[in-house]
Amino acid sequence: MLDVLLRLFTVFAPLSFLTVGGGQSIIPAIYHQSVEVQRWIDNSQFLDLFALSRLTPGPKSLLVTLIGWQAAGWAGAIIASVAIFLPSAVLVYFLARVWKRFEHAVLVQAIEAGLIPVAAGMILAATGIILNAAEGGFWAWAVALSSAGLLLSTRISPFVLLGAGGVIFLLVQPGA
């Protein structure tokens, strides 16, 4: 048991640093380790957990938590989560500390101001990429664009829109 927990940590902790630009990049490595190398779960279990991690709210890297749970119950879930979240979290914490200390420096102010257009381009590109990959084709575009339009022009709650998106897809069954 301790052996499994130790391996969960040593397998997932290095992946924590490899998640640059989004958790998607480490999915193949997670699959390779947990199915092929460590054999904590089999292929169909992996696909089930992957699908479930898309259904659950919160960070998508919770896939790792679910694998830890399958491998070693509660202790496994906790160790796997700590391994994937903690190392990079500590790194960002120190970045935030250093940042705060120098926040009045002209260079730091220039970095903050200069990053805004880069962030805007990144957000729009990321949105376009997930929209292209979204299930439902035309209907995904229609729901996403009208949701954005309503959010920008009214005070409607996003929850209403999420619910409406689900209901619309159930009614029209896009791609079915």
Partner 1 sequence: MTERSFIRTASVSDEPTLLALFLLFSKIGVTSFGGGISGWMMRDFVRKRGWVTEEEFLSGLALTQAFPGINVVNLAIWVGYRLRGGSGALVAALGMTVPPILVAIAMMTIYSRISDSRGVPIAMAGIAAAAIGLSLEMGVHAARRASTNVLSMFIMLATFVAIFILKLNLIWVVLVAAPCSIGAAYYGLTRR
Does 34 participate in binding partner 1 (rule CB under 8 A)?
no
Does 120 participate in binding partner 1 (rule CB under 8 A)?
yes
Among positions 5, 11, 49, 79, the unique one binding partner 1 when judged by CB under 8 A: 49
The token duo for 126 is 């990321």
Question: Could you give the 3-state DSSP secondary structure of residue 156?
Answer: coil
What single DSSP character describes residue 175? T
Question: From the CB of 37, what's the least distance to partner 1, in Å?
Answer: 22
**CB closer to partner 1, 37 vs 121:** 121
Residues 140-159 that bind partner 1 (CB under 8 A): 140-141, 143-152, 158-159
Cα separation values, 95 from 10, 111, 120, 172, Å? 24, 14, 21, 47
Does 45 participate in binding partner 1 (rule CB under 8 A)?
no
Strand runs (DSSP E) across the chain, as ranges?
none
**CB closer to partner 1, 35 vs 143:** 143
Among positions 8, 79, 81, 83, the unique one binding partner 1 when judged by CB under 8 A: 81
Q: What is the C-alpha to C-alpha distance for residues 126 and 142, in angstroms, rounded to an integer?
A: 18
Q: Which residue's structure tokens are 């619309």?
A: 168
Does 37 participate in binding partner 1 (rule CB under 8 A)?
no
